[in-house]
Amino acid sequence: MENKFEAIVIGAGMSGAYAAKELCDKGIKTLVLERGRDVKHNVDYPTTNMQPWEFTHRGQIRQDVLDENPVIGRCYAYKEDAKHFFVKDTEHPYIQKKPFDWIRGYQVGGKSIMWARQVQRWSDYDFEGPARDGFAVDWPIRYADLAPYYSEVEKFIGVSGNRDGLDVLPDGEFLKAFDSTCVDEYFKEVLNENYQGRHVIYGRCAHITEMKDIFKQQGRTLCQSRTICQRGCPFGGYFNANSTLIPWAMRTGNMTLRPHSVVHSIIYDEERGKATGVRVIDALTKESKEFFADIIFVNAATINTNAILLNSTSDRFPDGLGNDNGILGKYVAFHNYRGKINAIHEGHKEFVSEGRRPTSGYIPRFRNVEKQETDFLRGYAAGFSNNRYRKSNLEGVGETLLTNMNVKGEYGEWRVGSHMMGETIPKATNYIALSKESTDEWGVPLINLSIDYDDNDEKMLLDFFEQFTEMYEKAGFVEIKTRDTKQAPGLDIHEMGGVRMGNDPQTSLLNKWNQMHTCKNVLVTDGACMTSVATQNPSLTFMALTVRAVDHAVRELKKGEL
């Protein structure tokens, strides 16, 4: 009986912790299983208050460490101040049938500690896209189904933003925005004067800029604009699961948190026709244990969620739990971040950029929104950043160098840049599978990833270069340079799909409530559930789907339907 709960949540990252918070708030006795270590807010942020000179290598990673970790070493946040939150390549190997940079954070809080904190709602253009274009199955929900849950999440986590009035990117429950720069406003005016449907807006971000009672209850305070969020914030100024969801759920008395728990598979009862529990390997002792519950939320992050379900075999489901149609692990998609563009802005020399803000400008998708207008499907969004720095004299060695660096030089020109966030198309050829020959140290089959770009991605990349070069030229920017980073899929850290939602059990695995069609007491609300990927940063949508799914699951549980 000590291993029996009403609900089990697999994964203590952003969506899993949100599921735990919602379940516990509703009085459900919940076990949360996390394969990594515990990370407590303001206890396990070892670098959060360190000054640059206190780091042995001034924030950089030694070359021998980078050589040992070629995948994680490519991540923008893998620096000396946050390396302890990332999974080392050597400790958790996987198979790459095609190159894929899998970025992971195995701890309580998951990647919510190191995430980029950009949050945008989807619109009906995004939910209706697959049905209109025919590149994937129809979403079983629309914006109206998710809108109240978006609001609930935004109010709880704190989102800084402006009400922009764009149907392509619906407004939310916003706290006041940080100041935009003069160059943001200038580029916004240029696009308004020269284009229909192209906008520069404030990059909505999960930071507290106004104090509300709900944040006081969470023990958080205002963002200090330190912009070192990946270390964990002692103020709780940005949202992560550690400062917010996990403590909140723990205070209800309904949550049991069990770190160091590697989930092997889900237990399916053939006679009862439902899942009854979870098999776990203790990460430290390698001991096997089983835990039981009425409902199970699988929120281990997209790739691991697929792997757990694929490994959950039985006589009823020989190819993985719920996998009657054979598409489990298939139709994985991601965001294409390969396109970069940079330039110089020679104007606004009477202004400089001083201080910090934890966000930038954002350009919502403007291609193929209301109709198909290009030779590629779907579209892309983009960031817009700009700064003006003092020139530094880095000549000399020792005291000469120090003296030169301490002399404040004149400000240089404004530097502007954008990066592409392109929607890739879910395809059966992009899949997650399990190795039949190799296992990890816990006896779980190694994950095999076969995910790649296609012709649609290449056409979209060229369009991004063409359109942004033209937009930059209209703004009078000079020294415009485009760059294809050639990075492998995965480095965007936005992989989605494999356990997609849909109306038809023949072409999807989850229904409109995120329940498995053929095993309704198992729910998936992390990135694995996504039918398509749109162009927005996805975390806000994961959380909104989670709140909605928990609401439904608890109602069904109390009616005895689960």
Q: CA–CA separation, 360 vs 178, rounded Å? A: 10
348, 546 in Cβ contact below 8 A? no
Q: CA–CA separation, 134 vs 137, rounded Å? A: 7
Q: CA–CA separation, 305 vs 447, rounded Å? A: 11
Q: CA–CA separation, 289 vs 308, rounded Å? A: 16
- What is the SS3 assignment for 144? helix
CB proximity list for 541: less than 8 A, separation 6 or greater: 121, 122, 146, 150, 530
Give me the pLDDT at residue 172, please: 98
Per-state percent for the chain, helix, strand, coil, to nearest 5: 25, 20, 50
* Integer CA distances (angstroms), 62 to 66, 178, 249, 522, in order: 6, 35, 39, 43
Please give the CATH topology (third level) of the domain spanning 1-160+239-333+430-450+496-562. FAD/NAD(P)-binding domain (3.50.50)
Low-confidence ranges of the chain (pLDDT < 70): 1
The domains of the chain are located at: 1-160+239-333+430-450+496-562, 165-203+335-423+453-488
Give me the pLDDT at residue 136, please: 83
CB proximity list for 397: less than 8 A, separation 6 or greater: none
- What angle (nearest 5°) sits at the alpha carbon of residue 129, between those of residues 123 and 132? 135
Give me the pLDDT at residue 312, please: 98
Among residues 67, 2, 74, 16, the alpha carbon closest in space to that of 486 is found at: 74
Give me the pLDDT at residue 404, please: 87
Q: Which helix (H) or strand (E) holds 14?
A: helix 14-25
Among residues 34, 29, 35, the alpha carbon closest in space to that of 7 is found at: 29
464, 380 in Cβ contact below 8 A? yes
- What is the SS3 assignment for 272? coil
- What is the SS3 assignment for 363? strand
- What is the SS3 assignment for 350? coil
280, 289 in Cβ contact below 8 A? yes
296, 263 in Cβ contact below 8 A? no
The residue count of the chain comes to: 562
Task: Give helix 539-558 / helix 14-25 axis angle, nearest 10°.
Answer: 30
End-to-end CA distance of the chain: 19
According to DSSP, the β-strands at 519-524 and 414-423 are unpaired
Query: In the Cβ-directed half-sphere of 464, how many Cα atoms lie within 13 Å?
Result: 33
Q: How many Cβ atoms sit within 10 Å of the Cβ of residue 316?
A: 14
Q: CA–CA separation, 109 vs 114, rounded Å? A: 9
* Integer CA distances (angstroms), 114 to 84, 86, 140, 361, 433, in order: 11, 9, 31, 20, 27
Assigned token pair, 391 = 């020139």
Gyration radius of the chain's alpha carbons: 24
Assigned token pair, 261 = 């728990």
Q: CA–CA separation, 278 vs 443, rounded Å? A: 15
Give me the pLDDT at residue 215, please: 98
Give me the pLDDT at residue 265, please: 98
Give me the pLDDT at residue 523, please: 98
Give me the pLDDT at residue 96, please: 96
Strands of 201-336, DSSP E: 201-202, 255-258, 261-269, 274-282, 288-292, 295-298, 330-333, 335-336
Among residues 253, 257, 299, the alpha carbon closest in space to that of 25 is found at: 253
- What is the SS3 assignment for 506? coil
- What is the SS3 assignment for 429? coil
Backbone phi, psi, residue 23, to 5° = -60, -45
Assigned token pair, 450 = 């076969």
Q: Which residues on neighbouring strands pair with residue 268, listed in sequence order?
A: 275
Is the CA virtual torsion 457, 463, 467, 472 positive or negative? positive
Among residues 512, 442, 488, the alpha carbon closest in space to that of 91 is found at: 442
4, 26 in Cβ contact below 8 A? no
- What is the SS3 assignment for 438? strand
Give me the pLDDT at residue 199, please: 98
Residue 368 zone, left/alpha/beta (φ > 0; ψ -120 to 50; rest): left
Q: CA–CA separation, 363 vs 383, rounded Å? A: 6
